[in-house]
Structure 1
Amino acid sequence: MVVAVVFDVGETLLDDTREYGAWADWLGVPRHTFSAVLGAVTAAGRNNAETFQYFRPGFDLATERQRREDAGLGETIEDTDLYPDVRPALTELRTRGLWVGIVGNQTAKVARLLRALNLPADAIATSGEWGAAKPDQAFFDRVAQFAPAARPDIVYVGDQRDKDILPARKAGMRTAHIRRGPAGHLWADDPTVLDAADWRINSLTELPALLRPST
């Protein structure tokens, strides 16, 4: 029985368009150029951070992130960055008695920004706070400690094949793949996703009825 639902952040809850646009501006390259290279990196199954190397070899993400902060151009998250289905879906899941968590590969600052949005979630954390990042099994071990449920009773919801669905399944959790964002569309019909995902959805609002139908 599903007891807890844990959500990835980028392109599952947050539309990353504005943030990637800000990175393109910081690098001084056209936004569509940055997006095209990011898409190629994603299609190759590589880490998105590798995108920056094409524009600035030797680019250090942590250093440049701090430089953005120092320049007053650091990352922000606004309610408009959430996909429209986020609040309704998470609210309904909690109404139906499910524990809702949010955790993804983001900095500790992003955790604070997400908490400030007062989302309908029981707990929020990020890899930056945990010191473990997807797809490492250490991350999913932390998810298992984070959620008040046995692993088979946890559903991890995400868009990425290699960082979300496959490692969560390997960790003994159930999985829901959302067709959203570049990776979500790219891997939606991949045979390994078809095999590993317990559910495949196009909107988070599909989840409440799938996970715990009303009685």
Structure 2
Amino acid sequence: MENIKWIFFDLGSTLVDESECLKERCKVIIEQNNLDADEFYKKVLEYAEKDAFAIRWAAQDFGVAVPKWFGELERLYPDVEEILKNLSQKFKLGIIANQVTGTQKRIDSWDIGKYFDVVVASAEAGCEKPDLKIFNMALKQAKCNPSEAVMIGDRLDNDIIPAKKLGMNTVWVRQGFAKFQSVKNELERPDYIVESIADVVDLF
């Protein structure tokens, strides 16, 4: 990718492995409500193809409540710090993510906050992806033209499509529930597709 100055990352299921959080949330829903596990997971996967809140919608279909987010089970994907360290030597790095308050504190606790010059999270921004406002806020803070930036994320709907609309370069990381999504048209087609965050380094 030529003329790239900035690389922006999503956080959940892109840099942060949320798989254990999702498993625990499903487990609690199933056990507390005596649901058939196979039926519930089938419904979750149906929604995972089209929405970021697959468990929430599945729970609604079954008429049950969704438990808290088990944030204590979040972990960085392997080698994330090394990946960010390498990329930060050649590019400016940023985060554009739908997150609750305290994103900077969380990434600092994982010892990766030092690699990011811009962190725009929905709770503080007052808007969330796929709204183009949050992307424009990040680009403005970075003083960066869209064509000079890359958006790396796990979701076609929240990350790839809005970034492409603005003229950003895009990388789809097929991790988490979003790997069940599929590209339906050219507007949704990322510039690059990788199967894990570890593969991103090879693109640059």
For the aligned pair, the TM-score class normalised by the smaller chain equals 0.7 to 0.9
Does the Cα contact within 8 Å between 1:178 and 1:202 map onto a contact in 2?
A: yes
Equivalent positions of 1:166-185 (< 5 A) are 166-185=161-180
Instruction: Name the counterpart of 2:197.
Output: 204
Equivalent positions of 1:86-101 (< 5 A) are 86-95=80-89, 97-101=90-94
Does the Cα contact within 8 Å between 2:156 and 2:181 map onto a contact in 1?
A: no
Query: TM-score normalized by structure 1?
Result: 0.76
Instruction: Name the counterpart of 1:165.
Output: 160
Instruction: Name the counterpart of 1:71.
Output: none
Does the Cα contact within 8 Å between 1:134 and 1:163 map onto a contact in 2?
A: yes
Instruction: Name the counterpart of 2:131.
Output: 136
Which consecutive residues of structure 2, in runs of 5 or more, have no partner in the other structure?
none
Does the Cα contact within 8 Å between 2:6 and 2:150 map onto a contact in 1?
A: yes
Q: CA 1:41–1:89 in 2, change beyond 3 Å: closer, same or farther? A: same
Question: Does structure 1 residue 46 correspond to structure 2 residue 51?
Answer: yes
Using the TM superposition, give the Cα deviation of residue 172 of structure 1 relative to its aligned residue in structure 2, in angstroms: 1.9
Question: Does structure 1 residue 83 correspond to structure 2 residue 77?
Answer: yes
State the secondary structure of the residue aligned to 1:164: helix
Identity of aligned residues (%): 25
Q: CA 1:93–1:47 in 2, change beyond 3 Å: closer, same or farther? A: closer
Using the TM superposition, give the Cα deviation of residue 194 of structure 1 relative to its aligned residue in structure 2, in angstroms: 8.6
Q: Which of 118, 122, 127 is 1:127 aligned to?
A: 122
Q: CA 1:203–1:116 in 2, change beyond 3 Å: closer, same or farther? A: same
Does the Cα contact within 8 Å between 1:111 and 1:125 map onto a contact in 2?
A: no
Does the Cα contact within 8 Å between 1:156 and 1:174 map onto a contact in 2?
A: yes
State the secondary structure of the residue aligned to 2:86: helix
Instruction: Name the counterpart of 1:103.
Output: 96
Using the TM superposition, give the Cα deviation of residue 158 of structure 1 relative to its aligned residue in structure 2, in angstroms: 0.9
Equivalent positions of 1:24-35 (< 5 A) are 24-27=26-29, 28=32, 35=41
AA at the equivalent of 1:37: K
Whole-angstrom distance in 1 between the partners of 2:52 and 2:175: 18
Q: CA 1:148–1:118 in 2, change beyond 3 Å: closer, same or farther? A: farther
CA RMSD, aligned part only? Answer: 2.8
Does the Cα contact within 8 Å between 2:20 and 2:73 map onto a contact in 1?
A: no
Tell me the number of residue pairs that the alignment of Structure 1 and Structure 2 aligns: 194
| More displaced 10-residue stretch of structure 1: 155-164 or 140-149 | 140-149
Once superposed, which parts of structure 1, at least 4 consecutive aligned residues long, lie more than 6 Å away?
Answer: none
Query: TM-score normalized by structure 2?
Result: 0.79
